[in-house]
Structure 1
């Protein structure tokens, strides 16, 4: 064999090793780029099964309200689903939570961030000031208004709201403190999915 033939095999081997090294080097970059693309386009992620929202509240039919732009961005990364509903008087924010998350904030914090003055935080045995027990709860209107709620008054520019919230797990255990729920869910002491409900009523 001449000198050219003697070098052909080593050169091919060197070229193959170089190509493999380049592929191995670029794979992590591609993985990161893929994750970034998914983060920018959350609709590409697998979507959870649809949740059937309640049809009535306090004996009145509920209708859905459109989510605002900020709420849509929040919902895109939320581990579950959320909806805004009204019965013509009360505003309900319903969140179906599939796993423990720090994205579930206390309603009082949210109202403060919106510029409301929050006062008179307390636990209440009913979501309304004058509870109406004449409407029996059914599968389409759960959770019932009876039971423990965390409530407060929110004031802003002359608008006064009574806001109440609670979380309920798959076994019917109720939480009125978001942090307590998070740790119970994270430690396996509460199983989901969880229903988080916030009700705002004009005063």
Structure 2
């Protein structure tokens, strides 16, 4: 009986979480940073695939160039499973993912998950992390999700993914 109660409690946990943040009345405008790692961010258009995903995404998505890197920023105000790892996106686009590892971010403010995406005649070095409003950083999307859902991480959150040719 105790085990059954524990399973029911775990199953209902997401429903007992604090209510999702309400989007402000003025819409979902996000002020993106002007630079990344000392490089100015130049806006890029979302691809057709990214536009279809963004239409269903519970937040905002923007792409930029920063020197030799492409930078994708995703902004969310509530925990969501749609903020998934970049490796999933690259796999879905036909890339082979290899050499997954953690490394220190260039700004020294935490770890990021990096991997090599090979496909379509190119090898890309992709790195990503999620940061919350308090500056706490996550290199694992699942760890971020459960921390955000339980109130251990406060939003809004920004996911940062970078890609550059090897």
TM-score (norm 1): 0.65
Q: CA deviation at 1:72?
A: 1.9
SS in structure 2 of the partner of residue 50 of structure 1 = coil
1:165 pairs with 119, 122, 128, which one? Answer: 128
Q: Distance in 1 between matches of 2:39 and 2:141?
A: 28
Query: Which structure dedicates a bigger proportion of its chain to helix?
Result: 1
Identify the residue that residue 175 of structure 1 maps to in structure 2.
138
Aligned to 1:106: 85
Between stretches 79-88 and 67-76, larger displacement belongs to: 67-76
Distance in 1 (CA, whole Å) between partners of 2:117 and 2:138 is 21
- The equivalent position to 1:119 in structure 2, one of 70, 92, 98, is 98
1:12-54: CA deviations, max 9, x gaps? Answer: xxxxxxxxxxxxxxxxxxxxxxxxxxxxxxxxxx773411111
- Report the alpha carbon displacement of residue 164 of structure 1 after superposing the two structures with TM: 0.3
Is the strand fraction higher in 1 or 2?
Answer: 2
Q: CA RMSD in A?
A: 1.7
For the residue of structure 2 that corresponds to 1:166, the secondary structure is strand
- 1:1-203 alignment, distance < 5 Å: 48-126=27-105, 144=107, 146-203=109-166
Specify whether residues 100 and 157 from structure 1 end up closer, same or farther in structure 2 by C-alpha distance, changes over 3 A only.
Answer: same
CA contact (8 A) 1:48 1:80 kept: no
Secondary structure of 2:98 counterpart: strand
Gaps of 5+ in 2: 1-24
**What residue in structure 2 maps to residue 13 of structure 1?**
none
In structure 2, the partner of 1:41 is none
Deviates more, 1:71-80 or 1:170-179: 71-80
Conserved? CA contact 2:28–2:59, under 8 Å: no
* Paired position in structure 2 for 1:4: none
- Distance 1:81-1:157 versus aligned 2 partners, 3 A rule: closer
Aligned-pair CA distance for 1:87: 1.8
